[in-house]
Chain A
Amino acid sequence: MKKKIAVIGLGNPLRRDDAIGILLLQYLSQNKKKLSKTIDFIDGGTSGLNLLHLLGDYETVLLLDAVDFKGSTGEIKKFTVDEIKNQKIQLFLSTHEPDFLTVYALLKELDRAPTRLVIFGVQPKDISYGTRVSQEICSFLPTLQKQILEEIQSMTKSL
Protein backbone atom coordinates (compact mmCIF):
# COMPACT_ATOMS: atom_id res chain seq x y z
CA MET A 1 0.00 0.00 0.00
CA LYS A 2 1.26 3.44 -0.89
CA LYS A 3 2.12 6.05 1.70
CA LYS A 4 0.20 9.34 1.71
CA ILE A 5 2.27 12.43 0.94
CA ALA A 6 5.94 13.13 0.29
CA VAL A 7 7.51 16.54 0.01
CA ILE A 8 10.75 15.96 -1.86
CA GLY A 9 13.44 18.62 -2.19
CA LEU A 10 15.75 18.23 -5.18
CA GLY A 11 19.00 19.96 -6.01
CA ASN A 12 22.61 20.30 -5.06
CA PRO A 13 23.92 22.57 -2.29
CA LEU A 14 27.25 22.62 -4.17
CA ARG A 15 25.61 24.42 -7.13
CA ARG A 16 24.53 27.66 -5.47
CA ASP A 17 20.84 28.38 -6.33
CA ASP A 18 20.29 24.74 -7.26
CA ALA A 19 20.13 24.28 -3.48
CA ILE A 20 16.78 26.06 -3.25
CA GLY A 21 14.72 22.85 -3.23
CA ILE A 22 16.78 21.49 -0.34
CA LEU A 23 16.65 24.80 1.56
CA LEU A 24 12.85 24.95 1.29
CA LEU A 25 12.58 21.31 2.32
CA GLN A 26 14.71 21.97 5.41
CA TYR A 27 12.45 24.87 6.35
CA LEU A 28 9.29 22.78 5.98
CA SER A 29 10.84 19.93 7.92
CA GLN A 30 11.74 22.33 10.75
CA ASN A 31 8.14 23.55 10.73
CA LYS A 32 6.46 20.19 10.33
CA LYS A 33 4.24 20.79 13.36
CA LYS A 34 2.37 23.32 11.21
CA LEU A 35 1.77 20.66 8.53
CA SER A 36 -0.15 17.42 8.16
CA LYS A 37 1.31 14.47 10.09
CA THR A 38 0.94 12.30 7.01
CA ILE A 39 3.74 14.15 5.20
CA ASP A 40 7.21 12.60 4.84
CA PHE A 41 10.03 15.07 4.12
CA ILE A 42 12.67 13.69 1.78
CA ASP A 43 15.98 15.18 0.66
CA GLY A 44 16.24 13.81 -2.89
CA GLY A 45 19.47 15.67 -3.68
CA THR A 46 20.67 14.72 -7.15
CA SER A 47 19.56 11.14 -6.96
CA GLY A 48 18.17 10.75 -10.48
CA LEU A 49 17.02 7.20 -11.06
CA ASN A 50 17.44 6.43 -7.38
CA LEU A 51 14.33 8.60 -6.94
CA LEU A 52 12.30 5.92 -8.70
CA HIS A 53 11.21 4.09 -5.58
CA LEU A 54 10.84 7.19 -3.42
CA LEU A 55 8.47 8.79 -5.93
CA GLY A 56 6.63 5.55 -6.58
CA ASP A 57 5.91 4.87 -2.93
CA TYR A 58 3.55 7.83 -2.44
CA GLU A 59 0.04 8.78 -3.55
CA THR A 60 0.89 12.48 -3.59
CA VAL A 61 4.33 13.93 -4.28
CA LEU A 62 5.16 17.62 -3.97
CA LEU A 63 8.54 18.41 -5.48
CA LEU A 64 10.62 21.47 -4.61
CA ASP A 65 13.26 22.30 -7.16
CA ALA A 66 15.19 24.97 -9.03
CA VAL A 67 13.66 25.25 -12.49
CA ASP A 68 14.60 27.57 -15.32
CA PHE A 69 11.26 28.68 -16.76
CA LYS A 70 12.67 32.04 -17.89
CA GLY A 71 10.99 33.83 -15.02
CA SER A 72 12.49 36.47 -12.76
CA THR A 73 14.95 35.32 -10.09
CA GLY A 74 13.16 33.93 -7.05
CA GLU A 75 9.82 33.63 -8.85
CA ILE A 76 7.98 30.47 -7.88
CA LYS A 77 5.77 28.47 -10.22
CA LYS A 78 3.47 25.60 -9.32
CA PHE A 79 2.91 23.17 -12.16
CA THR A 80 2.33 19.56 -13.16
CA VAL A 81 4.36 17.46 -15.58
CA ASP A 82 1.50 17.63 -18.10
CA GLU A 83 1.98 21.39 -18.33
CA ILE A 84 5.60 21.09 -19.48
CA LYS A 85 5.93 21.62 -23.21
CA ASN A 86 9.49 20.45 -23.80
CA GLN A 87 9.56 17.39 -21.58
CA LYS A 88 10.45 14.93 -24.32
CA ILE A 89 13.60 16.83 -25.26
CA GLN A 90 14.58 17.09 -21.63
CA LEU A 91 14.41 13.35 -21.23
CA PHE A 92 17.40 12.96 -23.52
CA LEU A 93 19.38 16.08 -22.74
CA SER A 94 19.33 15.91 -18.97
CA THR A 95 22.51 17.25 -17.56
CA HIS A 96 23.86 14.12 -15.89
CA GLU A 97 21.85 11.27 -14.47
CA PRO A 98 18.29 11.12 -15.75
CA ASP A 99 16.20 13.87 -14.17
CA PHE A 100 12.94 13.40 -12.37
CA LEU A 101 10.95 13.77 -15.59
CA THR A 102 12.63 10.62 -16.86
CA VAL A 103 11.99 8.91 -13.55
CA TYR A 104 8.36 10.00 -13.65
CA ALA A 105 7.94 8.74 -17.21
CA LEU A 106 9.45 5.39 -16.22
CA LEU A 107 7.17 5.18 -13.19
CA LYS A 108 4.16 5.78 -15.43
CA GLU A 109 5.31 2.93 -17.68
CA LEU A 110 5.68 0.75 -14.60
CA ASP A 111 2.23 1.84 -13.43
CA ARG A 112 3.77 3.07 -10.18
CA ALA A 113 3.48 6.85 -10.64
CA PRO A 114 2.02 8.88 -7.78
CA THR A 115 -1.62 9.80 -8.33
CA ARG A 116 -0.72 13.44 -7.89
CA LEU A 117 2.62 15.09 -8.64
CA VAL A 118 2.98 18.83 -8.24
CA ILE A 119 6.23 20.69 -8.83
CA PHE A 120 7.12 23.94 -7.13
CA GLY A 121 9.84 25.41 -9.31
CA VAL A 122 11.89 28.40 -8.23
CA GLN A 123 13.70 30.41 -10.88
CA PRO A 124 17.42 30.39 -9.98
CA LYS A 125 19.97 33.00 -10.96
CA ASP A 126 23.29 31.23 -10.58
CA ILE A 127 23.90 27.48 -10.69
CA SER A 128 27.67 27.62 -10.96
CA TYR A 129 29.78 25.63 -8.48
CA GLY A 130 29.76 27.06 -4.98
CA THR A 131 28.15 26.55 -1.61
CA ARG A 132 26.46 29.95 -1.31
CA VAL A 133 23.18 30.85 -3.00
CA SER A 134 23.01 34.13 -4.93
CA GLN A 135 22.20 37.31 -3.01
CA GLU A 136 18.88 37.58 -4.84
CA ILE A 137 17.73 34.09 -3.84
CA CYS A 138 19.02 34.72 -0.34
CA SER A 139 16.90 37.86 -0.04
CA PHE A 140 13.81 36.11 -1.45
CA LEU A 141 14.22 33.10 0.82
CA PRO A 142 11.99 34.22 3.75
CA THR A 143 9.15 35.07 1.32
CA LEU A 144 9.60 31.77 -0.53
CA GLN A 145 9.57 29.83 2.73
CA LYS A 146 6.35 31.51 3.89
CA GLN A 147 4.72 31.05 0.49
CA ILE A 148 5.61 27.36 0.22
CA LEU A 149 4.50 26.63 3.77
CA GLU A 150 1.09 28.22 3.13
CA GLU A 151 0.71 26.46 -0.24
CA ILE A 152 1.49 23.06 1.21
CA GLN A 153 -0.71 23.69 4.25
CA SER A 154 -3.63 24.48 1.98
CA MET A 155 -2.95 21.61 -0.46
CA THR A 156 -2.60 18.93 2.20
CA LYS A 157 -5.07 19.91 4.93
CA SER A 158 -7.80 17.70 3.46
CA LEU A 159 -5.43 14.76 2.80
Chain B
Amino acid sequence: MSKDFSVHVEHVTRVEGHGNIILDVKNGKIEKLQWNVVEAPRFFEAMLRGQHYNELRPITSRICGICSIGHSLASLKATEDALGVKITSQTATLRRLAIHAENMQSHILHIGYLVVPDLFGAGSVFSLLGKHTDTVLKVVKLHRLANEMSDLICGRTIHPIRLVVGGFSLQPTEKQLIQLKKRLLEAQELTMELAPVILSVAGNLPSFTRETEYIGLTSDEEYSLYEGDIASTDTGRHPNYREYKEIMQEYIVPHSTAKYAKHARESYMVGALARFNLNSRQLHPVAQDIASLFKLKAINYNPFMNTIAQLAEFAHSIQDSISLIDILVDQGIKQEKPVKPAKKAGRGVGIVEVPRGILVHDYTLNSQGYCTKANCIIPTNQNHANIQKDMEKLVPEIINRPEKEIELTLEMLVRAYDPCISCSTHYLDVSFK
Protein backbone atom coordinates (compact mmCIF):
# COMPACT_ATOMS: atom_id res chain seq x y z
CA MET B 1 0.00 0.00 0.00
CA SER B 2 1.29 3.43 -0.88
CA LYS B 3 0.44 6.32 1.38
CA ASP B 4 1.87 9.50 2.88
CA PHE B 5 1.51 10.33 6.52
CA SER B 6 3.38 11.67 9.50
CA VAL B 7 3.22 10.81 13.16
CA HIS B 8 4.78 13.50 15.30
CA VAL B 9 4.15 12.87 18.97
CA GLU B 10 5.77 15.55 21.02
CA HIS B 11 6.22 15.19 24.75
CA VAL B 12 4.64 11.75 25.00
CA THR B 13 1.97 12.14 27.63
CA ARG B 14 2.07 10.10 30.81
CA VAL B 15 5.81 9.62 30.51
CA GLU B 16 8.15 11.44 32.81
CA GLY B 17 10.00 13.73 30.42
CA HIS B 18 10.39 15.10 26.96
CA GLY B 19 10.42 12.46 24.29
CA ASN B 20 9.31 12.96 20.71
CA ILE B 21 8.31 10.26 18.27
CA ILE B 22 8.92 11.33 14.69
CA LEU B 23 7.66 9.19 11.82
CA ASP B 24 7.43 10.44 8.23
CA VAL B 25 6.09 8.07 5.58
CA LYS B 26 5.99 8.87 1.86
CA ASN B 27 4.51 6.54 -0.76
CA GLY B 28 4.31 3.86 1.91
CA LYS B 29 8.05 4.12 2.62
CA ILE B 30 9.52 5.26 5.91
CA GLU B 31 11.52 8.44 5.29
CA LYS B 32 12.23 9.31 8.89
CA LEU B 33 11.74 7.42 12.13
CA GLN B 34 13.26 8.74 15.30
CA TRP B 35 12.92 8.39 19.04
CA ASN B 36 14.07 11.87 19.80
CA VAL B 37 14.92 12.89 23.35
CA VAL B 38 15.09 16.62 23.85
CA GLU B 39 16.40 17.21 27.30
CA ALA B 40 18.88 19.83 28.38
CA PRO B 41 22.23 18.37 29.44
CA ARG B 42 21.75 17.50 33.08
CA PHE B 43 25.22 18.19 34.47
CA PHE B 44 24.63 15.99 37.52
CA GLU B 45 28.26 14.90 37.52
CA ALA B 46 29.37 18.55 37.55
CA MET B 47 27.04 19.26 40.48
CA LEU B 48 28.70 16.47 42.49
CA ARG B 49 32.25 17.66 41.94
CA GLY B 50 33.52 19.68 44.88
CA GLN B 51 30.90 18.30 47.29
CA HIS B 52 31.75 16.55 50.55
CA TYR B 53 30.88 12.83 50.57
CA ASN B 54 28.05 13.40 53.05
CA GLU B 55 26.36 15.71 50.52
CA LEU B 56 26.50 13.34 47.54
CA ARG B 57 23.53 11.21 48.63
CA PRO B 58 21.13 14.14 49.35
CA ILE B 59 22.03 15.77 46.00
CA THR B 60 21.60 12.61 43.93
CA SER B 61 18.30 11.80 45.62
CA ARG B 62 16.94 14.86 43.77
CA ILE B 63 17.92 13.56 40.32
CA CYS B 64 14.64 11.70 39.98
CA GLY B 65 11.32 12.11 41.77
CA ILE B 66 10.46 8.45 41.30
CA CYS B 67 13.84 6.75 41.76
CA SER B 68 15.15 8.87 44.61
CA ILE B 69 15.68 5.83 46.85
CA GLY B 70 17.58 4.02 44.08
CA HIS B 71 19.81 7.01 43.42
CA SER B 72 20.40 7.32 47.16
CA LEU B 73 21.44 3.68 47.44
CA ALA B 74 23.72 3.77 44.38
CA SER B 75 25.27 6.92 45.81
CA LEU B 76 25.79 5.39 49.26
CA LYS B 77 27.25 2.19 47.80
CA ALA B 78 29.71 4.21 45.70
CA THR B 79 30.69 6.39 48.67
CA GLU B 80 31.06 3.41 50.99
CA ASP B 81 33.07 1.53 48.35
CA ALA B 82 35.42 4.51 48.09
CA LEU B 83 35.76 4.92 51.87
CA GLY B 84 36.03 1.26 52.88
CA VAL B 85 32.75 1.24 54.84
CA LYS B 86 31.36 -2.21 55.62
CA ILE B 87 27.68 -1.87 56.50
CA THR B 88 25.96 -4.17 59.01
CA SER B 89 23.63 -6.98 57.96
CA GLN B 90 20.71 -5.06 59.51
CA THR B 91 21.48 -2.06 57.30
CA ALA B 92 21.71 -4.31 54.24
CA THR B 93 18.30 -5.83 55.09
CA LEU B 94 16.70 -2.42 55.65
CA ARG B 95 18.17 -1.17 52.38
CA ARG B 96 16.65 -4.15 50.62
CA LEU B 97 13.29 -3.16 52.11
CA ALA B 98 13.85 0.41 50.88
CA ILE B 99 14.52 -0.77 47.34
CA HIS B 100 11.41 -2.99 47.41
CA ALA B 101 9.35 0.00 48.57
CA GLU B 102 10.55 2.07 45.64
CA ASN B 103 10.09 -0.79 43.18
CA MET B 104 6.51 -1.20 44.36
CA GLN B 105 5.86 2.55 44.34
CA SER B 106 7.15 3.04 40.82
CA HIS B 107 5.76 -0.17 39.32
CA ILE B 108 2.20 0.35 40.54
CA LEU B 109 2.33 3.93 39.34
CA HIS B 110 3.44 2.77 35.90
CA ILE B 111 1.09 -0.20 35.69
CA GLY B 112 -1.97 1.41 37.19
CA TYR B 113 -1.84 5.02 36.10
CA LEU B 114 -0.05 4.75 32.75
CA VAL B 115 -0.42 1.32 31.10
CA VAL B 116 -3.76 -0.03 32.32
CA PRO B 117 -5.62 2.99 30.84
CA ASP B 118 -4.04 2.12 27.47
CA LEU B 119 -5.08 -1.52 27.78
CA PHE B 120 -8.68 -0.57 28.57
CA GLY B 121 -8.63 1.95 25.70
CA ALA B 122 -9.48 4.60 28.28
CA GLY B 123 -6.94 7.23 27.25
CA SER B 124 -6.15 8.22 30.81
CA VAL B 125 -6.61 7.18 34.40
CA PHE B 126 -9.36 9.82 34.64
CA SER B 127 -11.50 8.07 32.02
CA LEU B 128 -10.68 4.72 33.58
CA LEU B 129 -11.91 5.91 36.97
CA GLY B 130 -15.43 6.48 35.65
CA LYS B 131 -15.76 3.02 34.10
CA HIS B 132 -13.52 0.81 36.23
CA THR B 133 -13.63 2.52 39.60
CA ASP B 134 -12.86 -0.63 41.57
CA THR B 135 -9.67 -1.29 39.58
CA VAL B 136 -8.43 2.28 40.05
CA LEU B 137 -9.19 2.15 43.78
CA LYS B 138 -7.14 -1.05 44.10
CA VAL B 139 -4.24 0.67 42.34
CA VAL B 140 -4.60 3.70 44.62
CA LYS B 141 -4.55 1.46 47.72
CA LEU B 142 -1.43 -0.39 46.58
CA HIS B 143 0.24 2.89 45.71
CA ARG B 144 -0.55 4.26 49.16
CA LEU B 145 0.99 1.23 50.85
CA ALA B 146 4.19 1.57 48.80
CA ASN B 147 4.36 5.27 49.71
CA GLU B 148 3.88 4.53 53.40
CA MET B 149 6.52 1.81 53.28
CA SER B 150 9.01 4.29 51.77
CA ASP B 151 8.06 6.74 54.47
CA LEU B 152 8.58 4.20 57.26
CA ILE B 153 11.93 2.86 56.07
CA CYS B 154 13.41 6.01 54.53
CA GLY B 155 11.75 8.77 56.56
CA ARG B 156 9.92 10.23 53.57
CA THR B 157 7.64 9.15 50.76
CA ILE B 158 10.24 10.41 48.30
CA HIS B 159 13.66 12.05 48.53
CA PRO B 160 14.64 9.89 51.52
CA ILE B 161 16.42 11.32 54.55
CA ARG B 162 17.23 8.32 56.77
CA LEU B 163 19.63 6.68 54.31
CA VAL B 164 23.11 7.87 55.25
CA VAL B 165 26.71 6.82 54.65
CA GLY B 166 27.31 3.72 56.78
CA GLY B 167 23.70 2.94 57.65
CA PHE B 168 20.51 4.66 58.75
CA SER B 169 19.99 7.82 60.81
CA LEU B 170 16.91 6.16 62.34
CA GLN B 171 15.56 2.62 62.13
CA PRO B 172 11.88 1.61 62.22
CA THR B 173 10.66 -0.06 65.41
CA GLU B 174 9.65 -3.72 65.67
CA LYS B 175 6.02 -2.66 66.18
CA GLN B 176 6.08 -0.58 63.00
CA LEU B 177 7.58 -3.46 61.03
CA ILE B 178 4.94 -5.91 62.28
CA GLN B 179 2.25 -3.44 61.27
CA LEU B 180 3.86 -3.10 57.85
CA LYS B 181 3.88 -6.88 57.44
CA LYS B 182 0.11 -6.97 58.04
CA ARG B 183 -0.38 -4.34 55.35
CA LEU B 184 1.85 -6.24 52.94
CA LEU B 185 -0.22 -9.39 53.42
CA GLU B 186 -3.35 -7.40 52.53
CA ALA B 187 -1.50 -5.92 49.55
CA GLN B 188 -0.69 -9.40 48.30
CA GLU B 189 -4.39 -10.25 48.25
CA LEU B 190 -5.16 -7.04 46.38
CA THR B 191 -2.43 -7.80 43.84
CA MET B 192 -3.90 -11.23 43.22
CA GLU B 193 -7.28 -9.57 42.63
CA LEU B 194 -5.74 -7.00 40.28
CA ALA B 195 -3.79 -9.51 38.16
CA PRO B 196 -6.87 -11.17 36.54
CA VAL B 197 -8.30 -7.72 35.73
CA ILE B 198 -5.12 -6.83 33.86
CA LEU B 199 -5.10 -10.28 32.28
CA SER B 200 -8.59 -9.63 30.91
CA VAL B 201 -7.19 -6.80 28.77
CA ALA B 202 -3.64 -8.12 28.29
CA GLY B 203 -4.62 -9.17 24.77
CA ASN B 204 -4.30 -5.48 23.93
CA LEU B 205 -0.56 -5.60 24.57
CA PRO B 206 0.92 -5.65 21.07
CA SER B 207 2.41 -9.03 20.12
CA PHE B 208 5.74 -7.74 18.90
CA THR B 209 9.14 -9.30 19.34
CA ARG B 210 12.69 -8.21 18.58
CA GLU B 211 15.68 -10.09 19.84
CA THR B 212 17.96 -7.89 21.86
CA GLU B 213 20.44 -8.05 24.73
CA TYR B 214 19.22 -7.71 28.32
CA ILE B 215 21.49 -6.34 31.03
CA GLY B 216 20.97 -6.26 34.78
CA LEU B 217 22.37 -7.42 38.09
CA THR B 218 22.43 -11.11 38.95
CA SER B 219 23.28 -13.02 42.11
CA ASP B 220 23.38 -16.63 43.33
CA GLU B 221 21.66 -15.59 46.53
CA GLU B 222 18.52 -13.73 45.47
CA TYR B 223 16.50 -11.99 42.75
CA SER B 224 19.01 -9.22 42.44
CA LEU B 225 17.99 -5.65 43.17
CA TYR B 226 20.41 -4.33 45.79
CA GLU B 227 23.46 -6.44 45.11
CA GLY B 228 24.89 -8.65 42.39
CA ASP B 229 27.20 -8.90 39.42
CA ILE B 230 26.49 -7.19 36.13
CA ALA B 231 25.11 -9.80 33.72
CA SER B 232 24.03 -9.95 30.10
CA THR B 233 21.78 -12.44 28.34
CA ASP B 234 24.37 -12.42 25.52
CA THR B 235 27.69 -12.52 27.35
CA GLY B 236 26.93 -13.87 30.83
CA ARG B 237 28.31 -12.61 34.10
CA HIS B 238 30.82 -9.77 34.51
CA PRO B 239 31.98 -9.83 38.15
CA ASN B 240 34.35 -6.85 37.97
CA TYR B 241 31.83 -4.13 38.77
CA ARG B 242 34.43 -1.36 38.62
CA GLU B 243 34.82 -2.04 34.90
CA TYR B 244 31.15 -1.34 34.20
CA LYS B 245 32.10 0.95 31.29
CA GLU B 246 33.15 -2.13 29.30
CA ILE B 247 29.51 -3.23 29.45
CA MET B 248 27.64 0.06 29.40
CA GLN B 249 29.23 1.79 26.46
CA GLU B 250 27.67 5.24 26.26
CA TYR B 251 27.66 7.26 23.05
CA ILE B 252 26.08 10.34 21.50
CA VAL B 253 23.67 10.43 18.56
CA PRO B 254 22.96 13.53 16.46
CA HIS B 255 19.15 13.51 16.84
CA SER B 256 19.06 13.31 20.60
CA THR B 257 20.57 15.25 23.47
CA ALA B 258 20.48 12.27 25.85
CA LYS B 259 23.29 9.72 25.88
CA TYR B 260 22.66 6.30 24.30
CA ALA B 261 24.32 2.99 25.24
CA LYS B 262 25.25 -0.34 23.65
CA HIS B 263 27.21 -3.49 24.48
CA ALA B 264 27.25 -6.74 22.48
CA ARG B 265 24.69 -5.54 19.92
CA GLU B 266 23.44 -2.20 18.58
CA SER B 267 21.33 -1.75 21.68
CA TYR B 268 20.30 -3.40 24.94
CA MET B 269 17.41 -3.22 27.35
CA VAL B 270 17.42 -2.70 31.12
CA GLY B 271 14.52 -2.76 33.60
CA ALA B 272 11.98 -5.26 34.87
CA LEU B 273 11.93 -7.39 31.69
CA ALA B 274 15.74 -7.52 31.63
CA ARG B 275 15.82 -8.61 35.28
CA PHE B 276 13.09 -11.16 34.60
CA ASN B 277 14.96 -12.54 31.60
CA LEU B 278 18.13 -12.89 33.65
CA ASN B 279 16.78 -14.01 37.01
CA SER B 280 13.16 -15.20 36.76
CA ARG B 281 13.96 -18.52 38.46
CA GLN B 282 14.70 -16.57 41.67
CA LEU B 283 11.36 -14.77 41.79
CA HIS B 284 9.08 -15.75 44.66
CA PRO B 285 6.64 -18.53 43.61
CA VAL B 286 3.71 -16.09 43.86
CA ALA B 287 5.46 -13.79 41.37
CA GLN B 288 6.24 -16.77 39.13
CA ASP B 289 2.54 -17.69 39.20
CA ILE B 290 1.66 -14.19 38.00
CA ALA B 291 4.21 -14.46 35.19
CA SER B 292 2.72 -17.85 34.18
CA LEU B 293 -0.77 -16.38 34.21
CA PHE B 294 0.38 -13.99 31.49
CA LYS B 295 2.49 -16.69 29.75
CA LEU B 296 5.60 -14.66 30.46
CA LYS B 297 8.66 -16.90 30.25
CA ALA B 298 12.36 -16.08 30.02
CA ILE B 299 13.66 -15.15 27.53
CA ASN B 300 10.81 -12.95 26.37
CA TYR B 301 11.66 -10.51 23.57
CA ASN B 302 8.47 -8.44 23.65
CA PRO B 303 9.21 -5.00 25.22
CA PHE B 304 5.48 -4.50 25.90
CA MET B 305 5.77 -7.36 28.40
CA ASN B 306 7.95 -5.11 30.58
CA THR B 307 4.72 -4.10 32.33
CA ILE B 308 3.90 -7.74 33.11
CA ALA B 309 7.43 -8.27 34.41
CA GLN B 310 6.81 -5.24 36.64
CA LEU B 311 3.61 -6.81 37.93
CA ALA B 312 5.49 -10.04 38.76
CA GLU B 313 8.22 -8.00 40.45
CA PHE B 314 5.59 -6.10 42.41
CA ALA B 315 4.33 -9.40 43.88
CA HIS B 316 7.92 -10.52 44.49
CA SER B 317 8.74 -7.30 46.33
CA ILE B 318 5.75 -7.80 48.63
CA GLN B 319 6.73 -11.40 49.44
CA ASP B 320 10.42 -10.70 49.85
CA SER B 321 9.65 -7.70 52.07
CA ILE B 322 7.56 -9.96 54.32
CA SER B 323 10.54 -12.38 54.59
CA LEU B 324 12.94 -9.50 55.32
CA ILE B 325 10.66 -8.16 58.04
CA ASP B 326 10.54 -11.65 59.60
CA ILE B 327 14.35 -11.72 59.66
CA LEU B 328 14.55 -8.27 61.28
CA VAL B 329 11.92 -9.11 63.88
CA ASP B 330 13.48 -12.51 64.67
CA GLN B 331 16.91 -10.97 65.12
CA GLY B 332 15.52 -8.00 67.03
CA ILE B 333 15.85 -4.59 65.42
CA LYS B 334 18.61 -2.50 66.95
CA GLN B 335 19.06 1.27 66.81
CA GLU B 336 22.52 1.11 65.22
CA LYS B 337 24.76 4.09 64.58
CA PRO B 338 26.11 4.46 61.03
CA VAL B 339 29.48 2.76 60.43
CA LYS B 340 32.27 5.33 60.16
CA PRO B 341 34.51 5.45 57.07
CA ALA B 342 37.85 3.64 57.33
CA LYS B 343 39.52 6.20 55.05
CA LYS B 344 38.75 9.47 53.32
CA ALA B 345 40.05 9.08 49.79
CA GLY B 346 39.46 6.60 47.03
CA ARG B 347 37.32 5.61 44.08
CA GLY B 348 34.05 3.78 44.59
CA VAL B 349 31.39 2.33 42.35
CA GLY B 350 27.82 1.69 43.47
CA ILE B 351 25.42 -0.35 41.34
CA VAL B 352 21.78 -1.11 42.11
CA GLU B 353 18.66 -2.07 40.22
CA VAL B 354 16.07 0.71 40.24
CA PRO B 355 12.58 0.34 38.75
CA ARG B 356 13.73 1.29 35.24
CA GLY B 357 16.94 -0.75 35.30
CA ILE B 358 20.54 -0.92 36.35
CA LEU B 359 21.95 2.31 37.79
CA VAL B 360 25.62 3.13 38.36
CA HIS B 361 27.25 5.86 40.44
CA ASP B 362 31.03 6.17 40.34
CA TYR B 363 32.84 8.68 42.56
CA THR B 364 36.44 9.63 43.21
CA LEU B 365 37.03 11.31 46.58
CA ASN B 366 40.16 13.24 47.58
CA SER B 367 41.98 13.04 50.91
CA GLN B 368 39.62 15.62 52.44
CA GLY B 369 36.60 13.51 51.45
CA TYR B 370 35.51 15.81 48.60
CA CYS B 371 34.34 14.49 45.24
CA THR B 372 36.74 15.20 42.39
CA LYS B 373 35.14 13.04 39.73
CA ALA B 374 31.68 11.55 39.28
CA ASN B 375 29.88 9.46 36.71
CA CYS B 376 26.24 8.37 36.76
CA ILE B 377 24.79 5.92 34.24
CA ILE B 378 21.01 6.23 34.27
CA PRO B 379 18.73 3.35 33.17
CA THR B 380 16.63 5.38 30.76
CA ASN B 381 19.70 6.45 28.78
CA GLN B 382 20.61 2.78 28.41
CA ASN B 383 17.19 2.08 26.90
CA HIS B 384 17.02 4.88 24.30
CA ALA B 385 18.84 2.93 21.57
CA ASN B 386 16.64 -0.09 22.23
CA ILE B 387 13.48 2.02 21.87
CA GLN B 388 14.81 3.34 18.54
CA LYS B 389 15.62 -0.19 17.27
CA ASP B 390 12.22 -1.49 18.42
CA MET B 391 10.52 1.29 16.47
CA GLU B 392 12.54 0.47 13.37
CA LYS B 393 11.27 -3.12 13.47
CA LEU B 394 7.76 -2.32 14.70
CA VAL B 395 6.73 0.38 12.20
CA PRO B 396 7.13 -1.73 9.02
CA GLU B 397 5.01 -4.44 10.72
CA ILE B 398 2.11 -2.03 11.42
CA ILE B 399 2.52 0.49 8.60
CA ASN B 400 -0.73 -0.50 6.89
CA ARG B 401 -2.81 0.10 9.98
CA PRO B 402 -4.72 3.38 10.56
CA GLU B 403 -2.49 6.29 11.47
CA LYS B 404 -4.09 6.75 14.88
CA GLU B 405 -3.38 3.11 15.71
CA ILE B 406 0.25 3.45 14.62
CA GLU B 407 0.59 6.54 16.77
CA LEU B 408 -0.94 4.86 19.82
CA THR B 409 1.18 1.71 19.37
CA LEU B 410 4.36 3.80 19.24
CA GLU B 411 3.27 5.73 22.32
CA MET B 412 2.54 2.47 24.11
CA LEU B 413 5.99 1.19 23.18
CA VAL B 414 7.64 4.21 24.77
CA ARG B 415 5.44 3.95 27.84
CA ALA B 416 6.32 0.25 28.18
CA TYR B 417 9.89 1.34 28.91
CA ASP B 418 8.63 3.79 31.50
CA PRO B 419 11.33 6.29 30.54
CA CYS B 420 12.42 8.99 32.93
CA ILE B 421 13.59 11.85 30.75
CA SER B 422 14.64 15.13 32.31
CA CYS B 423 13.01 13.81 35.42
CA SER B 424 13.70 16.85 37.44
CA THR B 425 11.20 19.66 37.48
CA HIS B 426 7.48 20.08 37.72
CA TYR B 427 7.74 23.86 37.22
CA LEU B 428 4.36 25.26 36.19
CA ASP B 429 3.59 27.77 33.49
CA VAL B 430 0.22 29.33 34.25
CA SER B 431 -2.03 32.19 33.26
CA PHE B 432 -4.98 33.34 35.30
CA LYS B 433 -8.64 33.75 34.45
In the assembled complex, 10 residue pairs joining A and B whose CB atoms fall closer than 8 Å, in A order, are A47-B158, A48-B426, A49-B109, A84-B431, A85-B432, A86-B431, A95-B17, A97-B16, A98-B14, A109-B129
Q: Is the interface of A mostly helix, strand, loop or mixed?
A: mixed
Measured CB to CB, the nearest residue on chain A to B429 is A68
Q: Number of B residues whose C-beta is below 8 Å from A?
A: 50
Known contacts A69-B431, A85-B431, A93-B11; is-contact A54 B47 (Cβ 8 Å): no
Q: How far is the CB of A97 from chain B (nearest CB, A)?
A: 4
- Residues B36-55 near A (CB distance < 8 A): 40-44, 47
Q: What are the residues of chain B within 8 A of A79 when measuring CB–CB? A: 432
Q: Are A94 and B426 in contact (CB under 8 A)?
A: yes
Q: Tell me the chain B residues, 160-217 only, with Cβ under 8 Å from chain A.
A: none
Q: How far is the CA of A127 from the CA of B159 in the complex (A)?
A: 19
In the complex, which range does the number of interface residues on chain A fall in?
35 or more
Chain A positions within 8 Å of B, measured between CB atoms, are 10-15, 18, 43-50, 52-54, 65-70, 79, 83-87, 90, 92-101, 105-106, 109-110, 121, 124, 127-131
* B158 contact set on A, CB distance < 8 A: 44-47, 50
Among B139-147, B260-268, B274-282, B397-405, the stretch that binds chain A is B139-147
For residue A127, which residues in chain B have a CB less than 8 angstroms away from its CB?
425, 427
Other-chain contact of A100, B147, B159, B426 (Cβ < 8 Å): B426
Residue pair B47, A121 in contact (C-beta under 8 Å): no
Please give, as numbers and ranges, the residues of chain B lying within 8 Å of A49 by CB-CB distance: 109, 113, 143
* B432 close to A50 (CB less than 8 A): no
Cβ-defined contact, A106 with B125, below 8 A = yes
Shortest A99–chain B CB gap in Å is 5
A92, B17: Cβ atoms closer than 8 Å: no
Most chain-A CB neighbours within 10 Å: which of B40, B47, B62, B105? B62
Q: Which residues of A contact B427 (CB under 8 A)?
A: 11, 15, 18, 66-68, 95, 124, 127
Contact of B425 among A46, A85, A131 (CB under 8 A): A46
B66 at the interface (CB under 8 A from A): yes
Is B430 within 8 A of A85, CB to CB? yes
Known: A46-B423, A109-B129. A95 touches B13 (CB 8 A): no
Give chain B nearest CB distance to A15 CB in angstroms. Answer: 5
Is there an interface contact between B424 and A14, defined as CB atoms closer than 8 Å? yes
A13 B17 Cβ-Cβ under 8 A? no
Contact between B432 and A43 (Cβ–Cβ < 8 Å)? no
CB < 8 Å: which of B40, B66, B432 contacts A69? Answer: B432
Q: Are B126's CB and A14's CB within 8 A? A: no
